A and B are shown apart, each in its own frame.
Chain A
Amino acid sequence: MRRCYFDHVATNPLHPEVLDVMMPYFKEDFGNPLSIYDLGTSAREAIEKARGQVAGLINAKPQAIVFTSSGAEANNFALRGIAFARQNQGKHAIVSKVEHHSILNSARFLEKSGFVVTYLPVDKHGIVDPDTVKKSINKETVLISVTHASSEIGSIEPIREIAQIAKEHRVTLHADGVATTGNIPVDVKKLGVDLYSMAAHQFYGPKGAGALYVKEGTRIAPLIYGGIQEGGRRAGTENVPAIVGMGKAAEIAAQELPGRMEHCRKLRDALIDSVLKVPNVHLTGHPEKRLPHHSSFVVEFIEGEAMLLMLSMKGILSASGSACSSRALKSSPVLLSLGVPSALAQGSIVFSLGTDNSMEDINYFIEEFPQVVKKLRDMSPFSSGWGQGGEGDKCYTGG
């Protein structure tokens, strides 16, 4: 059976060249980067090389890159680190409603720690209005965090405009760049952000490696205390193979990005065209301002989980909203924030493409997807509609 991996926002296969450069650091070059002898020196130099490679991908200075264990850690570090470092200046933070759980739950933690958090609404495409950001700032505001693009709906947020507002009000701006880094061009200087999160496995690097860009001069409290790794900003013996892999993946991504984007966009557009031919299916997220490898939909009258299972039996691997939401079997807060009724949000499905996909994959999918939807609708008690009354009676017209 053909296997079509359409879940590249969940994770990506490791680039073969990335694995090659990592291997020595699992074997002969196993040294601790803090050790003063040769083994330590070679590990230390490898980390610094990777720092330069990651910095190059987002046009940052190498010393502004702090390696972490994941994008989620980078997001936690950014929110807690800035909130606690600036709490004497104010205890108000602003985040959008379309953030990843690592931002939303960090914001909830801040609320438990005495901060006030404003959750920014979004429009029907999941886009934050910079004017709403401006209106939400008060004299206590020290931090704004808005995702550069949501992995659930793919919409790209107006970070530059938000950065201008943050700068005018001397508020620190963090952007979650986990879904964007390595998938669209990112220039932290042009964006104007103070902090930017990344995850290696989103651009064909290894899992277990992430990074936070911290603009020079930004004071941040560490999330993990201990040794002097990462300039005292993130303690713990470094995951040298993973960091080396992240560096190589960043270098390759910087070289291959235009080709990757073109390849994915072409396939993605064909996929969207075919999916939208199925009746009562709606695109979620912005139709144009979205990640080039990303497509997301809500399918009326059936559950996303059922679609996932049936598609996976046909070798088509996809996701229903975020990995966290789909495992919790609850409606995605991101979709609800777009105004999608909760019954319809259950029919969420995300297809995200990568370099390993081909037009043959898309053609196979185009044959199979309508049949899967039809079969599930035939079994669905809602096949003739949502029934009478109740929230589910509303038909979504947002996408």
Chain B
Amino acid sequence: MRFVHGVKADITADIVYMMCPMHLLKLDEMIKGLDAGQVLEILTDYDGALEDIPQWCKRTGNEFIGLDEDEDYYKFYVRKTDKQQKGES
């Protein structure tokens, strides 16, 4: 797992306390609204995201920048690549 600190995100989705599969649905929904190069931050306390979000990035061609840990939740960072156009999933 890649740990990062101080990543500047363009937009944040706070889904702490939301269970599977909200982390993937929110990721998909939010990334559609971004331009290539922009960074999405997802706040979640769902442990399954540790595996699912990097996998989702690999599958869709978006860049998994890494994750940071807060006191009781994770902060995932995903950069939209030009492989995925705005509005396309």
Contacts and interface: CB of A to CB of B under 8 A. Distances in A.
A222 B18 contact: yes
Given A228-B22, A231-B22, A232-B22, A219 B17 contact: yes
B14 A219 contact: yes
A26 interface: no
Interface in A71-92: 85, 88
B14 A217 contact: yes
Contacts of A21: none
Interface residues of A, number: 12
Interface string A220-244: 1110010010011100000000000
Interface string B29-56: 0000000000000000000000000000
Given A88-B71, A88-B72, A232 B14 contact: no
A219 B22 contact: no
B65 interface: no
Contacts of A220: 17
Contacts of A222: 17-19
A85 B18 contact: no
Contacts of B27: none
Contacts of B16: 85, 219
A289 B17 CA distance: 39
B21 A221 contact: no
Nearest to B43: A219
Interface string B1-31: 0000000000000111111011001000000
Interface in A155-210: none
Contacts of B14: 217, 219
B19 A232 contact: yes
Main SS at interface, chain B? loop
Nearest to B23: A232
Contacts of A228: 21-22, 25
Contacts of B22: 228, 231-232
A181 B21 CA distance: 33
Nearest to A225: B19
A382 to B, nearest CB: 54
Nearest to B12: A217
Contacts of A217: 14
B44 to A, nearest CB: 11
Nearest to A221: B17
Interface in A2-51: none
Contacts of A219: 14, 16-17
Nearest to B46: A232
A220 B16 CA distance: 8
Contacts of A221: 17
Nearest to B73: A219
Nearest to A226: B19
Nearest to A217: B14
Contacts of B72: 88
- Of the listed residues A219, A228, A232, the one surrounded by the most CB atoms of chain B closer than 10 A to its CB is A232
A205 B21 CA distance: 32
Interface string B53-74: 0000000000000000001100
Contacts of B25: 228, 232
Nearest to A222: B17
B20 to A, nearest CB: 9
Contacts of A225: 19
Given A228-B25, A232-B15, 11 more contacts: A88-B71, A217-B14, A219-B14, A219-B17, A221-B17, A222-B17, A222-B19, A225-B19, A228-B21, A232-B25, A233-B18
Across the A-B interface, the 3 shortest Cβ-Cβ residue pairs:
A232-B22, A232-B18, A221-B17
Interface of A: 85, 88, 217, 219-222, 225, 228, 231-233
25 contacts: A85-B16, A85-B17, A88-B71, A88-B72, A217-B14, A219-B14, A219-B16, A219-B17, A220-B17, A221-B17, A222-B17, A222-B18, A222-B19, A225-B19, A228-B21, A228-B22, A228-B25, A231-B18, A231-B22, A232-B15, A232-B18, A232-B19, A232-B22, A232-B25, A233-B18
